[in-house]
Structure 1
Amino acid sequence: MNKYFPGIGRIEYRPDAGPEDTLVFRHYNPGETVHGRSMEEWLRFSVCYFNTFRYLGSDDYYGDRAHQRAWEDGSRTLDNYKRRMLAAFEFCHKLGVKYYSVSDRDMAPEGENFDETNTYLEEMVTLAADLQRQTGIKPLYYSADLFTHPRYMNGAGANPDAHVFAYACAQVKRSLEAAKRLGADNFVFFNPRDGYQSLLQRQIFRDMSHMAQLYRMAAQYKDKIGFKGQLLIQPKPSDPRRHQYESDAMSTMHMLRYFGLDTQYKLYIKPAFSRLLGRPYEHDVNVAAAFNMLGCVDASGNYPEVHGTSDLCAKNVADATFIMKCILEQGGLQDGGFTLGGRVRRESVEPRDLFHGHILAMDTFARALRNAARMISDGCFAHSIQQRYISYKSGLGEHVEKSSSSLEECEDYVRRNGEPQHQSSRHEHFNNMFNYYVYPPRQ
Structure 2
Amino acid sequence: MTVADPRERQDGLGWVSRAIFADPRLWLHVGAGPAAVPRGHRPAARYAVVPSVKRAKFLLPLASRRVGAASTLAYNALRPPRVRANRLAVGLLAGLGATGRVRMPVLTVAVPDGVEPEELLLAEHLGRVEGRRLHAAIGIRPPDPHHKPTLQLFDDRGLARAYAKIGWNDATRAMVAAEADALRELPRDGGDFPDVPRLLRQLRWGDLAVTLVEPMPARVRRLPRPERPRAAAMLAVARRAGPARPLRPLAGSPFLADLTARAERAGGPVAAAVAALAARDGATALEFGHWHGDWVPWNLGTHRGRLVAWDWENSGADRPVGFDLAHQGFQCALSLAGQPAAEATAAMDDLLARHGDAFGLDPARRRLVADAYLVELWLRTAELAAGGGGWSGKLHPVLLHLLAARLSVPAPGPAG
TM-score, normalised to structure 1, is: 0.30
- Would you tell me which structure has more helix in proportion to its own residues? 1
- Would you tell me which structure has more strand in proportion to its own residues? 2
TM-score, normalised to structure 2, is: 0.31
